[in-house]
Amino acid sequence: MRDIMGMMGKVKEMQAKMEKMQAEIASLEVEGKSGGGLVTVTMTGKGDLRGLKIDPSLFKEDDVEILEDLIVAAHKDAKDKAEVVMAEKTKEVTAGLPIPPGMKLPF
């Protein structure tokens, strides 16, 4: 019975840590760049796009496709950075818990 009560306490503690982590991730801002910094994207940890900066040298009619590709690449760069931060924070919160490899949190 003590083991169950101890486990329930750990679950509640982890739940509180997860809620705190989710709030931190929501307020997190990451920046992704492409084209050597010609295009910069700023987004939240949840993937919401917050800002876009484009170097004026890219505003040429025949470079539209390149510009579109650079925007997509910058967004991917920012998203990848956000996922790394989320993975690190999740690892901190779940330290010591027997979670199967590859299981992503928060659900």
pLDDT digits (tens, 9 = 90+) for 88-102: 877 777 676 655 555
Query: Any idea what the CATH number is for the domain that residue 28 is in?
Result: 3.30.1310.10
Rounded-to-integer distance, Cα 38 and Cα 72, Å = 13
Residues 26-79 have pLDDT tens digits of 888 889 898 899 888 888 888 788 888 888 887 777 777 888 788 888 888 888
- Give the pLDDT confidence score for residue 23 in this predicted structure: 84
Confidence at 107, pLDDT banded by 50, 70, 90 = very low
Q: What's the pTM value of the predicted model, to 2 decimals?
A: 0.54
Confidence at 106, pLDDT banded by 50, 70, 90 = low
- Give the pLDDT confidence score for residue 1 in this predicted structure: 55
Structural domain includes residue 87: yes
* Nearest C-alpha neighbor of 106 from the set 31, 16, 18: 18
Segments forming the whole domain that contains residue 28: 1-94
Structural domain includes residue 4: yes
Structural domain includes residue 101: no
Asked if residue 55 lies in contact with residue 39, where contact means CB atoms within 8 angstroms, the answer is yes
H or E stretch covering 78: helix 64-93
Asked if residue 77 lies in contact with residue 41, where contact means CB atoms within 8 angstroms, the answer is yes
Structural domain includes residue 69: yes
Structural domain includes residue 99: no
Structural domain includes residue 71: yes
The structural domain count of the chain equals 1
